[in-house]
Amino acid sequence: MSNEYYDISVSACGFLNRVRIVEPTDGPSYLACTFAALRGAKGERAEPTYFDARVVGGHTKALLTQYRSVINDRSRQVFAAVRLSDLYVKPFVRQKGERKGETGFALKTRLFAIETLAIDGVVAYRRAEDPTARSGSAGSGRDSQSESATGSASKAHEEASATAGPEPRARAARA
């Protein structure tokens, strides 16, 4: 059997939220976060698209664990340029609230690399300047293939990463 995979890899800029340990009943626990990827015109008109991301790769896990308390502090804004893979939609049934019983959809992905991280407009981390970040290997298995297949970030992604993100605004509540 071959270990080759088809993969979707995406570079995105947006806000990190809700870093947490997920403990499923049918498998091992894992680190996860919510990523609000921005799309559209820069500034106040940019719209977020929310992803429920499983964090993979030792270096990426360590980085999010290190900044977990800051990311989870709702009074702080943590803007990041990231690399995502294996995007898919997962349906679910709402369990409470006015829309109880309705079907909803969650966008799922794997977050395998953080290129830049800015806290309240100040760059706190750049992968390009980190000697411990291995180029071409963001984790194990498919992650290293994903990263080597996508190559370096595009010029637009690099420009977005170099800034601290859009003007600060209140975090959008997840529906």
Q: Is residue 173 part of a domain?
A: no
Q: Is residue 174 part of a domain?
A: no
Q: Is residue 170 part of a domain?
A: no
Q: Is residue 134 part of a domain?
A: yes
User: What confidence score (pLDDT) does residue 135 get?
Assistant: 55
Q: What is the pLDDT along the chain (175 residues), one digit of tens a residue?
A: 567 878 889 999 999 999 999 999 999 999 999 999 999 988 778 899 999 999 999 999 999 999 999 999 999 999 999 999 999 999 999 999 999 999 999 999 999 999 999 999 999 999 988 888 765 443 333 444 333 333 333 333 444 444 445 444 444 444 4
Query: Total structural domains in the chain?
Result: 1
Q: Is residue 37 part of a domain?
A: yes
CA 150 – CA 158 distance, rounded (Å): 14
Q: Is residue 169 part of a domain?
A: no
CB within 8 Å of 168: residues ≥ 6 apart: 77, 120, 121
Q: Is residue 116 part of a domain?
A: yes
Q: CA geometry: angle at 168 spanning 165 and 170, to 5°?
A: 125
Helix ranges (DSSP H) in the chain = 58-66, 68-71, 142-150, 155-162
Q: List beta partners, residue 49.
A: 37
Determine the structural domain holding residue 45 and report its residue range: 9-162
Q: Are 139 and 60 in contact (CB under 8 A)?
A: yes
Q: Is residue 34 part of a domain?
A: yes
Secondary structure (H, E, C), 108-131: EEEEEEEEEEEECCEEEEEHHHCC
